[in-house]
Amino acid sequence: MSEPTPDLRYQLPDPTLRIGGKYRRAHEGATYESINPATEQRVSVIAAAGPADVDEAVSAARRQVDGGAWSRVSGAERGRILTRAADLIEADAQTLAALEAVEMGKLFHDSVEGDIPAAAAAFRHFAGWADKVTGTTALLPDFGPQRRFGYTIRQPLGVLGAILPWNNPVLIAAWKLAPALAAGCSAVVKPAEDAALSTLRLAELLAEAGLPDGVLNVVPGLGPVAGAALAAHPGIDKISFTGSYRVGRGIQSLAGDSFRKVTLELGGKAPQLVFDDADLELAMPWIAMGNFYHQGQVCAAGTRVLAHESVVDQVTEGLIEAARQATIGDPFLPMSTMGAIVNARQTEQILRYIEIGRGEGATLLAGGRRLDRPGYFIEPTVFRTTNDHTIAKEEIFGPVASVISFKTTDEAVQLANATKYGLNAMVYTSDLSRAVSVTERLRVGTVWVNGWGVPDPSLPWGGRAASGIGRELGRSGIEGDTEEKTVHIGL
């Protein structure tokens, strides 16, 4: 069990642009307010970067990889720094989690026990890669009179521009930064408006771990200003974005025009396929968690529950029961099982979707209301729908489950794939052959069989179709932060 009282002795940074290892104000003096969504009170004032600030941050990062101190640090030493960072993140879990809770309403104990150790694990994993990013060798056939030998080297890609979402700020920052820093890249990070403070704290910890000033720069600010300036900056070698489909599409077309590398993780509408032979006692908590964890504000949320007609009533009952048992409230209370919705806009959007569901004739079976108290709290909500209801098609990013019935395995697969998204899917069955064959047919980046959870840093993570392009994490993740160069040597 984590400590119920957060460590708030931490002095919030002010001002909050972090460039070249120093905090400073925005050139134009712009700021915005960070609001605690559980109280609607102000947490702090955040400096809002403009194009000139982003430009300075990119220059600082560029200097480090273009012959600066960082470009001369060995892989082994980068690994040591990242390992130290992992230890510092773990030791600082209470502060990081408290910042996430006050800024965006995530349960404090979920961050302490989940996001923060997982972020540390990502740094530890990629620390191990830092001196193992190697190329290949080949004995080439003679070319005319000349014998030839060839090999490849992997070099750091350069400067990573990372645009972060607010839902798992420390964890997703770690997923982008750990492989990039291990590979020898530098970075400019634009945290989400609703979650800048924990990212700044993370940057302080990385500095304490030994990262030279300027390798990691943090430019909080508004998406259309700071985010757009970063995405368009010619000094960036790669943009890694996690967020909405709409913004991701814009970043993709910008990157296309400039031949910039890009990874996009754009969320989804993941199916949870529950077959008639599923062990429901085992499956039900995962199915519920896939819908209600972090108030449903998870890219991997499994909000389309596709259940075989013989178990659909049981699954629906299970979800209703899980909704009834939820304790919604103060993110710092150990008894809370659901915290706040990130902000007013997301709250309105979720409530609008619930209204659309009702209006289209989906059957509301549990929840559906905002709590009548200060702060943004929405009841866990369960609908019976078809796959064609708007609420079963669009990413709501709130605690709203759609239960859909199917008759055959083919129909289940067809429904699962009938979506513009393709991030992940869950398959619940006791039949190993079915698990493997259904998994093969799902058009997604990741399948969880008999469970729901969090990506592991040792394996790739990313989506297909409207869920994005590219892979983060695992070998693909670190290789994606390098350029491969091929060398032919005439002997």
Of all residues in the shown chain, the one whose CB is closest to Mg ion is: 194
Contact yes or no for 88/238 (Cβ under 8 A)? no
Which residue lies nearer to Mg ion by CB, 103 or 265? 103
* Contacting residue, 47, 93, 160, 163, with ligand NAI by CB under 6 A: 163
Residue in 241, 280, 290, 252 with CA at minimum distance from that of residue 424: 290
Q: At what angle do helices 169-183 and 75-91 cross, to 10 degrees?
A: 160
- Other Cβ atoms less than 10 A from the Cβ of 447: the count is 17
331 class by beta-carbon count within 10 Å (0-12 exposed, 13-18 middle, 19+ buried):
buried
Instruction: Give yes or no for residue 86 binding ligand NAI (CB under 6 A).
Output: no
Q: How far is the CB of 346 from Mg ion (least distance, A)?
A: 10
Reply yes or no on whether 265 is catalytic: yes
Q: Could you give the string, one character per residue 187-216, with x where binding to ligand NAI holds by CB under 6 A and - elsewhere? A: ---x-xx-----------------------
The strand pair at 31-36 and 146-156 is best described as unpaired
**What x-and-dash track marks residues 81-120 binding Mg ion by CB under 5 A?**
----------------------x-----------------
Among 164, 178, 203, 288, which residue sits at the site for ligand NAI (rule: CB under 6 A)?
Answer: 164
Q: Closest separation between CB of residue 43 and Mg ion, Å?
A: 7
For the bound state, the minimum distance from the C-beta of residue 125 to ligand NAI, rounded and expressed in Å, comes to: 20
Residue 169 binds to ligand NAI (criterion: CB under 6 A):
no
Q: How far apart are CA 389 and CA 403, in angstroms?
A: 11
Contacts with ligand NAI by CB under 6 A: the residue count is: 26
* Residue (266 or 413) nearer to ligand NAI, CB: 266
CB of 274 to ligand NAI, least distance (A): 24
Nearer to ligand NAI, 172 or 320 (CB): 172
Q: At closest approach, how far in Å is the CB of 343 from Mg ion? A: 6
Neighbours of 479 (CB within 10 A): 17
User: Do 6 and 44 meet the contact criterion of CB atoms below 8 Å apart?
Assistant: no
Question: Is the backbone of residue 368 left (phi > 0), alpha (psi -120 to 50) or beta?
Answer: left
Q: What are phi and psi of 419, to 5 degrees?
A: -155, 155
Residue 291 φ then ψ, to 5° = -100, -35
Q: Which residues within the stretch 154-213 sit at the binding site for Mg ion (CB under 5 A)?
A: 194
For ligand NAI, give the closer residue by CB, 193 or 379: 193
